[in-house]
Structure 1
Amino acid sequence: MISAVIDCGYNSFRMVVYQVFRNGTFRALGSSKSFVRIGEGLKEGDTIPEEKVEKAERTFTIFKRILNGINVDEVKIVATSAFRYASNGNEVRLRLSKIIENEVRVISGEEEGSYAALGMLNTLPIPDGIFFELGGGSLEIAEVTSGNIIRVHQLPIGALKLVSLPEREIRKKVSDELSTINIKKANIMVGSGGNVRALAKLDLKLSSFPTKSVHGYLLSSKQISKYASLLPSLDDESRKSLPGISKERALTIHSASVIVDELIKYLNGSDMIVSLFGMREGVLTEGKKLDKMNWLEEISYSNAIDPPFGIFKEVMSEVDSKYSFYVASSALLSLIFKMVGYFNPFRACYRFIKESVLPGFTLDEVLLIGLICEAASGKVKKKHVKLLKDDITKKELLSFGNIVKNSIDKYVVGVRV
């Protein structure tokens, strides 16, 4: 089915159209975004200015035009903190609902945090930790244990809301707000939101990591502290010139970096795993629990073939190693690309890993799978092996690649027979 989710945020409005598969996984078909900044300068009880409302209406008119041009099975629309703060939030909600001909639902801070955590849980293999989403007007924090959302906190601190404050005042504001909640410390944090992803893109480009996606990327607390010191000292033009930072993000990336840095310090300096997915995907996948095998299935569904899990099971039984799951995943992906028609499915697998998003896995796991695919072609770059956060050697990768190649050759012969 085709589903659309519209997120009316404090800073930006975004509509994403998804293809949803029978196992609950999805892929984004396209999106439209506008930095409405409907909450800019808004204090609790204030009225959203008419010029902001009109900009929101123009954005919804564009969304409606897009929806009219495609066959969408369902549309889900949620509005967040600005609508909760404003005295005319419900009036604006009704005006926008009329344009889109679907109900705009204003969600609570707890709902927002739960949806964000669910979107991250369903797309990353991390069952425990602190999951947070930083928006323009608020920060949602969820405590997660064994894949279950235990508690959600919502704080009125956001990148746009605090953008005009100097670094010291931002830190004090964040520290004061965090002191009002009782939250456990965490060994790992998972973060989402446009500014969080922008920080990861900046770090990924500076580190020359051989992928384009930041989903599952580990951003160290040390690096975040560096950015939180550097970015507030730069003007908008200088921030725009940095790799991975768009013109629109340059306005808020510095305040966001300080908020994230202060949050991490409050929680004992944990490193952060970055999620490409969050609240919108939580709204989309509500009621479902997705894991790595579901997302491997999604690659098959995306290519209009049934998942060939026979080869996965064969390789799992053949490889006696802690890396057996990743070798089997490489074989499965390579076979999918072979079935699609690629002459060299191993290179196709590696290019897919470099250029696309594989939900369900951390970026280190994705890189490992990609390098095993590359090794199946007979070579692997030593500099890429060094990027793996593990003790695997180039020799091991080449041996795993050979297993993948032989398994595909055996499969092709079996099909011909």
Structure 2
Amino acid sequence: MISAVIDCGYNSFRLVIYQVFSNGTFRMLGSFKSFVRIGEGIKEGDKISDEKIDKAEKSFSIFKKILDNLNVAEVKIVATSAFRYAINGNDVKERLSKIINEEIRIVSGEEEGRYATIGMMNTLPISDGIFFELGGGSLEIAEVTSGNISRVSQLPIGALKLINYSPREIRKKVLDELSTLDIRKGKTLVGSGGNVRALAKLDRKLTSFPLKSIHGYSISSKQISKYASLLPSLDAESRQSLPGIGKERALTIHSASVIIDELVNYLNSRELIVSAFGMREGVLTEGKRLDKINWLEAVSFSHAITTPPIEIINEILTQVDSKYSFYVASSAFLSLVFKMTGYFDPFQACYRFIKESVLPGFTLNEALLIGLICEAGSGKVKKKQMKKLNEDITKKEILSFGDIIRNDIDKYVAGVRI
């Protein structure tokens, strides 16, 4: 099924097209963004200006043409803080709804935070921690314990809203708002939002991390502090020249970095784990819980294999007595999918897939480990990539795992029970 989600945010409007599979997982087919900045300068009770409304309507007209050209089964549209703040938010919502012929839902701050958290929880293997999404006009924070969202808060601090404040003023505002929350410190911190992802792209480029995805990427608190010191000292033109930032994001990345740094410091977090998914994916799945096995199956579905060879995972789990057994099994599963798809070297195909794509359900370190085990199926592993792996494992061990998946796939393809 082809589905679409439109997110009418404080800073940007975004249409995302998804292919949704039978097990509830999905893959992104396309994404279209317009920096409407509809919330720029708005205070509670103000009106959205005619200029911003005109820009929003033009964006929706483009979205409508895209949707009309695709066989989209359903369209879900949500609007966030700017529509809640503005006195004419409902009127603007109605005008935009008529363009698409679909009802726009203005979500509450708590709903926004819950959707964002569900989107992150469904695509990362983290069931305990503090989850946040930083937008242009607000910051949503949720505490999760044993996979359950215990509380959600929304704070009126956002990257676009605070662009004209000094770092010192931003820190004070953030600290004042955070101090009103009853939130546990020292837990795993997970974040999403355009500026969070931009910061991860910058760090990934500067550290030469071998995978292109930033989903599940970890940025140390020390690095975040450096960016929060550097970025506000640069003008917009200098910021946009940095890797992973770009012209539009350069407008807000400096204020966002200070907000994120203050949040990390307040929560005593050693690192920030970045999610490529958030509120839109929470809206898409409507609260359905997904796990690693679901996401491995999704790779099969996306390669037109309707019956995933899931039994190879169970077989390898009984063979490999190691804390890495599931990753070995995952590598075998993915390599087998590429074998069934017709690749001459399924192990290199698996490695290239991991290198170039997003693998939901896993952290980026886990994805790299799976990719290296896939590569080991061809009998080689690059030493420089081993150095980026945050695991106490040797090249020899990874090569031995490669032998296991190669032998088991050969038996599987030959029709012999492993």
Q: What is the TM-score normalised by the length of structure 1? A: 0.98
Q: CA contact under 8 A between 2:188 and 2:269: conserved in structure 1?
A: no
Residue in 1 that maps onto 2:299: 299
Residue in 2 that maps onto 1:37: 37
What displacement does 1:186 show?
3.2
Structure 1 stretches of 5 or more lacking a match? none
Give the secondary structure class of the aligned counterpart of 1:414. coil
For residues 392-407 of structure 1, the aligned pairs below 5 Å read 392-407=393-408
What displacement does 1:269 show?
3.0
What displacement does 1:412 show?
2.1
Q: Does 1:149 align with 2:142?
A: no
Q: CA contact under 8 A between 2:377 and 2:399: conserved in structure 1?
A: yes
Residue in 2 that maps onto 1:275: 275
Residue in 2 that maps onto 1:347: 348
Query: Residues 300-359 of structure 1: CA distance to partner in whole angstroms, max 9, x if unpaired?
Result: 111111210122222111111110100010000000000001000000000000000110
Q: Distance in 1 between matches of 2:213 and 2:200?
A: 9
Q: Does 1:214 align with 2:214?
A: yes
What displacement does 1:223 show?
0.6
Residue in 2 that maps onto 1:376: 377
Residue in 2 that maps onto 1:133: 133
Q: Does 1:338 align with 2:348?
A: no
What displacement does 1:21 show?
0.6
Task: Calculate the aligned-residue CA RMSD, in Å.
Answer: 1.0
Q: CA contact under 8 A between 1:36 and 1:55: conserved in structure 2?
A: yes
Give the secondary structure class of the aligned counterpart of 1:119. helix
Q: CA contact under 8 A between 1:7 and 1:13: conserved in structure 2?
A: yes
Q: Does 1:68 align with 2:65?
A: no
Q: CA contact under 8 A between 2:139 and 2:157: conserved in structure 1?
A: yes
Residue in 2 that maps onto 1:103: 103
Q: CA contact under 8 A between 1:5 and 1:280: conserved in structure 2?
A: yes
Query: Residues 243-294 of structure 1: CA distance to partner in whole angstroms, max 9, x if unpaired?
Result: 1111100110010000000001110133111000000000001131000000
What displacement does 1:387 show?
1.4
Q: Distance in 2 between matches of 1:405 and 1:142?
A: 43
- One-letter identity of the residue aligned with 2:226: K
Q: Distance in 1 between matches of 2:279 and 2:212?
A: 22
For residues 184-333 of structure 1, the aligned pairs below 5 Å read 184-305=184-305, 306-333=307-334
Moved runs in structure 1, 4+ residues, more than 4 A? none
Residue in 2 that maps onto 1:390: 391
Q: CA contact under 8 A between 1:195 and 1:249: conserved in structure 2?
A: yes
Count the aligned residue pairs: 416
Q: CA contact under 8 A between 1:113 and 1:154: conserved in structure 2?
A: yes
Q: CA contact under 8 A between 2:133 and 2:141: conserved in structure 1?
A: yes
Q: Distance in 2 between matches of 1:7 and 1:236?
A: 26
Q: Distance in 1 between matches of 2:35 and 2:332?
A: 42
Q: Distance in 2 between matches of 1:181 and 1:70?
A: 44
Query: Residues 81-132 of structure 1: CA distance to partner in whole angstroms, max 9, x if unpaired?
Result: 0000001000100000111100011000000000000000000000000000
Q: Distance in 1 between matches of 2:378 and 2:21?
A: 31
Q: Distance in 2 between matches of 1:270 and 1:398?
A: 32
Q: What is the TM-score normalised by the length of structure 2? A: 0.98
Give the secondary structure class of the aligned counterpart of 2:414. helix
Q: CA contact under 8 A between 1:137 and 1:158: conserved in structure 2?
A: yes
Query: Residues 357-381 of structure 1: CA distance to partner in whole angstroms, max 9, x if unpaired?
Result: 1100000000000000111111111
Residue in 1 that maps onto 2:362: 361
Q: Does 1:174 align with 2:174?
A: yes
Q: Distance in 2 between matches of 1:293 and 1:310?
A: 11
- One-letter identity of the residue aligned with 1:407: D
Q: Does 1:410 align with 2:411?
A: yes
